[in-house]
Every structure is written in C-alpha cells, then in structure tokens.
C-alpha cells in the first residue's frame, strides 16, 4: 500500500483562505488547533492510526440501541476494546437506561436538539409540548440556548449523566450558523460535528482524497463552506471566533470521484445521490481509500435522516422490514420490529470485520478523536494510551466553559494528558488493562422512555400527553429478544414467556416526527 510522505513540519497541510488564517506557532494543542488537511503531530504516516467513527443521530432508546448491539455483538478491536458508538442523542424518545448502558460500555453520549420542522428548528415557534418548551420565561420568546441545552439538561438531571461526559453536539438537519456556535461556546461544549465537508479539486480545505480536512478549533475562524447544503441551512461569518471549540467535519462518503452523501447512502430519492449496488463493498472501498491516502477519519454516520414519509430510516436500513401488510406509516400494523438485520446492518458488520484485518484501524468516539488531536500519539503507542475501560469523555476540557465542579473528576485532570504523563498508568499497565477489556456479553435491559413515549412529537400540532399518561409505558422490556420476537407493545401486560410463545408483537410505530 503506497503511503504519502510524512508531514515535514507543523504547517504542512495548513489551510488558508481569503477569510481564514491561523498561526500554528500560537495556536497549539490541547486547546487550539489550526485547520489542516494533514494529520497532527508530525507523525510518519504509517504511525497515524486510521480512525473509524460510528455515530447515530436522534433518539437513544431501546430500539436503536438494540439494533446497534445486534450489529456490534461482541466484536472487539485487536487491542481488546469494544467497537464504540457516538450517540448524538435528543431527549425526545430517549430513555435513561440505554444512555447509561451506552456510556458504561464505552460509547459516547453527545447531544442533539429535539425539533423536526421544515424550517430552521432553532427559530421555530414555541412547542406546545411542555417537555420540549424552549420559551425563556424572562422574555416570553423561544430561546436558542434553551433549545440547544434542553437535551443535555434532561440527560443530566433525570438520568444522572455527568455534564463533563456530554460535550459534543450535532444540529438537527445540519443547521449551522453563528448564533448556534456562539451558544455552544457559551454553554460549555467541546465540539460541534455539523458542518459538511467533501473533497474536490481546488477545494481550499480538502483538495483531494489524500488531503481531507481534519478536526480543528475555531479560534481563528471557520474555513469550511458552511452553506454546503444551501444558504438557508448553513452560514458562516468571517468574524466568528470561538476559542477552544472544535469542529469535527461532517465528512461525506466518497469513493473515487463519486459522492454518496452524508448518510442514507444509496437513497436515490435524495437529489444527486447515486444508487449503491453493494453497500459492504462501498464501505470497504472507502476505508481502503483513506488507508492509502492521508488517513483522515472515516465516518460511518448511519442513515437516520431519510424523509419521514418513508419507513426507510435507520431502523429499516439496519433492522428488519415491517410486516408485508404494512401499507402506510399510519397503518396500525406498521410497527418497529427487531428481527433479522437487513443488508445495511450486515454491511456495517462486514466493514467492522474487514477493518479488523487492518492493523492500522482503530474505532473510536468523536471525543476520543479530539483527545488524540490534542495529544497525537503514534500507532505503536495508541493502545496503551486509549484506556478504553475508562468510561466517559477523556479529552482535555480546559477551554470548555463548564464550572470546576462540573469538570471535577474529569480524566484529563486525574490522569494527565499523555500516555506517559505524570499520574497516568504506565504504558505496560495500560496495555494489560486494554488486553483485559471485554466486549458486551449481553444487552443491558432496555426500557421505554418514561416521559416522552406518549408525548406529542416536538413541534407537532397534536396535543401532548401529560407525563402521568406516559408513566405507565415504563414497563421493563425483555433484553435481547431472539430474532423473530418483537419487543412488548406499549402498555402491554404480557410476560416474557407470553412474548416468546406468541407471534411477534407490535411495538412503537416507525413513524418519526
């Protein structure tokens, strides 16, 4: 495999545009990183790990969690670490049990807002559902800050997830603008992962498949095309500066000269997206292209943003089709089933298995990617450095606007910033620890959300259920039902034995807001 030569100095690959300029002499890790399409750390390319990021957007409840666990199973990496997922989780349709289980297994729980609306979800009118009301009592008007912090507030206060472990954000429908980024910086986020990025000749940021933009901080501004999806979706100002706030580009899936989009790969109903004949081969080819090029991270962002009028969302792409007699989204027979994996789910499994044959590949979370950007250790030291058995965010949060109390106990404060830093386990000890790491042996018990399952969708005109009405929906579900056995329907009194003996029972409707 041919490799590009190693960067010769810190300015290699440095991005500069008419409105963006950054000096690497003054912008240095861990709190600052200039935009560059070369790997950090002046590492020889063969010592740059090939990172793969798996992420899921929107709800984090029993169904997406279980589908993901069916894909991942007990798969582990060569260093013994499980294959992690970054969940960009809203409050709507999420529950505490699955968020806690995700964090415990080594996943990252990042955030999304709650709105699904045709127009900008951050300027939509007040939501009639009190669970998603973003009106500021002081002004009587919808508040961008309340909208953005709502999910994290719920995960923290209701589910007990530490604020220091919820520092990533991706906006609904990829909306990005100065007001959103200003709020993220003010409200204590480490990174945003919203601005699309694709490579093309003469691009100022990603001019080729070998030179793709890496994560950077916005201390010197934003060099990307924020309006990639149109000026109503994204916009940047040349005056924007957010010290210590990282942007993890939302990389498109491209192989050769073909762009397969941001997600929902192969959905030809999306304008300009070509069909995919072999999904598994496409993902493998994308990995090979990065391995033989500049080793920019490969992002497998699961397709959850297909048009909601279709059932072809993440669940259909990854999990089983609904019953054949499911005529429309509104048909009462049209429910979510957890059965056999579809070709999409199997393709992701094949990518993971294929990646396991590549000694350079490591699956990590978004925050761990930033941690590595802050402290770029070579591949032969990475496994000792990773410490995957330590749950939660381990990146340096020095520049993050959280209180000292909220940061208390953070990894970067208690164990240093590098594999050999004072207070860190020795590389040998960390390697032994990683070798003992186990993949998930069983699914944590999944539970329906207590206060959101019966509620109206955010921004829906339908009347919202009171929390007391939804409380009865918190029945414990049987963990990991066998293929062909559906999860219990809402409000069901059936026992586990009844479910196993009976024909597949319907669960929640596939229809999302």
| Model confidence pLDDT, tens digit, residues 429-464 | 444 444 443 333 333 444 433 334 333 334 333 333
Residue 174 lies in a domain: yes
Identify the pLDDT of residue 120. 66
Contacts of 123 (CB under 8 A, 6+ apart): 142, 144
Number of domains in the chain: 1
Average pLDDT of the segment spanning 269-275: 70
Give the whole-number percent of the chain exceeding pLDDT 70: 67
Residue 83 tokens read as 């294959």
What whole-number distance in Å separates Cα of residue 341 and Cα of residue 279? 14
Residue 427 lies in a domain: no
Residue 426 lies in a domain: no
What whole-number distance in Å separates Cα of residue 309 and Cα of residue 321? 15
Confidence of residue 324 (pLDDT cuts 50, 70, 90): low
What whole-number distance in Å separates Cα of residue 343 and Cα of residue 124? 37
Identify the pLDDT of residue 141. 85
Q: Which of these ranges, 321-325, 336-340, 442-446, has the smallest mean pLDDT?
A: 442-446
From the centroid of its chain, how far is CA 219? Answer: 23
Contacts of 458 (CB under 8 A, 6+ apart): 92, 114, 115, 116, 127, 129, 132, 513
* Contact of 512 with 339, CB cutoff 8 Å: no
* Contact of 14 with 34, CB cutoff 8 Å: yes
- HSE of 332 in the Cβ direction (CA atoms, 13 Å)? 2
* Contact of 250 with 194, CB cutoff 8 Å: yes
Maximum C-alpha span of the chain:
67
What whole-number distance in Å separates Cα of residue 229 and Cα of residue 261? 11
Range of the domain at 327: 45-368
Q: Which of these ranges, 204-208, 219-223, 261-265, has the smallest mean pLDDT?
A: 261-265
Identify the pLDDT of residue 460. 34
The pLDDT tens digits of the residues spanning 454-491 come to: 333 343 333 333 332 222 222 222 233 333 223 333 33
pLDDT at 130 over 50: yes
Residue 260 lies in a domain: yes
What whole-number distance in Å separates Cα of residue 389 and Cα of residue 412? 15
Identify the pLDDT of residue 505. 29
Confidence of residue 18 (pLDDT cuts 50, 70, 90): very high
Reference 352, options 123, 147, 78, 152; nearest CA is 78
Residue 417 tokens read as 């910033």
Residue 462 lies in a domain: no
Identify the pLDDT of residue 413. 96
DSSP one-letter string for 360-423 = TEEE--HHHHHHHHHS---HHHHHHHH-TTS-S--S--TTS---HHHHTT-HHHHS-SSTTSTT
Average pLDDT of the segment spanning 49-56: 95
From the centroid of its chain, how far is CA 242? Answer: 22
pLDDT at 281 over 90: yes
Instruction: Return the SS3 of 197.
Output: strand
What whole-number distance in Å separates Cα of residue 110 and Cα of residue 191? 10
Q: How high is the mean pLDDT of the chain?
A: 76
Confidence of residue 156 (pLDDT cuts 50, 70, 90): very high
Query: Cis peptide before 278, with omega less than 30 degrees from 0?
Result: no
What whole-number distance in Å separates Cα of residue 482 and Cα of residue 499? 10
What's the pTM?
0.78
Residue 389 lies in a domain: no
Domain harbouring 168, CATH code? 3.20.20.370
Residue 457 lies in a domain: no
* Contact of 229 with 174, CB cutoff 8 Å: yes
């Amino acid at each position: 495999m041919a490799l590009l030569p190693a960067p010769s100095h810190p300015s290699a690959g440095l991005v500069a545009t008419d409105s963006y300029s950054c000096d690497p002499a003054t912008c240095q890790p861990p709190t600052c990183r200039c935009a560059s399409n070369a790997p950090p750390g002046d590492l020889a390319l063969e010592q740059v790990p090939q990172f793969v990021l798996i992420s899921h957007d929107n709800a984090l409840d029993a169904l997406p969690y279980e589908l993901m666990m069916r894909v991942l199973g007990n798969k582990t990496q060569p260093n013994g670490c499980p294959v992690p997922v970054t969940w960009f989780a809203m409050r709507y349709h999420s529950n505490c049990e699955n968020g806690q289980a995700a964090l415990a297994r080594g996943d990252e729980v990042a955030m999304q807002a709650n709105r699904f609306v045709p127009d900008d979800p951050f300027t939509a009118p007040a939501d009639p559902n009190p669970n998603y009301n973003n009106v500021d009592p002081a002004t009587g008007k919808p508040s961008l800050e309340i909208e953005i912090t709502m999910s994290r507030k719920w995960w923290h206060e209701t589910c007990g997830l530490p604020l220091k472990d919820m520092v990533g954000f991706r906006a609904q429908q990829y909306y990005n603008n100065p007001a959103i980024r200003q709020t993220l910086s003010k409200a204590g986020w480490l990174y945003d992962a919203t601005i699309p990025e694709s490579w093309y000749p003469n691009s100022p940021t990603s001019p080729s498949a070998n030179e793709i933009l890496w994560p950077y901080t916005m201390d010197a501004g934003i060099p990307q095309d924020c309006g990639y999806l149109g000026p109503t979706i994204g916009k940047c100002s040349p005056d924007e500066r957010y010290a210590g706030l990282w942007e993890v580009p939302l990389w498109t899936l491209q192989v050769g000269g073909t762009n397969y989009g941001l997600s929902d790969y192969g959905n030809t109903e999306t304008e300009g997206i070509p069909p995919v004949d072999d999904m598994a081969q496409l993902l493998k080819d994308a990995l090979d292209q990065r391995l033989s090029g500049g080793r920019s991270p490969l992002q497998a962002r699961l397709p959850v943003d297909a048009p909601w009028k279709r059932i072809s969302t993440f669940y259909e792409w990854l999990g089983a089709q609904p019953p054949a007699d499911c005529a429309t989204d509104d048909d009462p027979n049209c429910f979510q089933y957890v059965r056999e994996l579809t070709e999409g789910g199997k393709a992701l499994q094949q990518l993971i298995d294929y990646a396991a044959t590549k000694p350079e590949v490591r699956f990590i979370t978004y925050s761990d990617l930033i941690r590595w950007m802050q402290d770029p250790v070579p591949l032969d030291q990475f496994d000792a450095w990773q410490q995957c058995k330590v749950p939660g965010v381990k990146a340096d949060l020095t520049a993050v606007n959280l209180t000292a109390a909220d940061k208390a106990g953070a990894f970067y404060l208690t164990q240093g910033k590098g594999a050999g830093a004072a207070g860190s386990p020795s590389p040998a000890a960390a390697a032994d620890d990683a070798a003992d790491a186990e993949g998930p042996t069983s699914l944590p018990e999944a539970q329906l959300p207590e206060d959101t399952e019966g509620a109206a969708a955010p921004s829906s005109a339908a009347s919202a259920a009171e929390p007391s009405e939804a409380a009865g929906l918190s029945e414990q579900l049987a963990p990991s039902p066998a293929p062909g056995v559906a999860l219990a329907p809402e409000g069901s009194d059936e026992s586990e034995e009844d479910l196993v003996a009976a024909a597949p029972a319907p669960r929640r409707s596939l229809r999302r807001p």
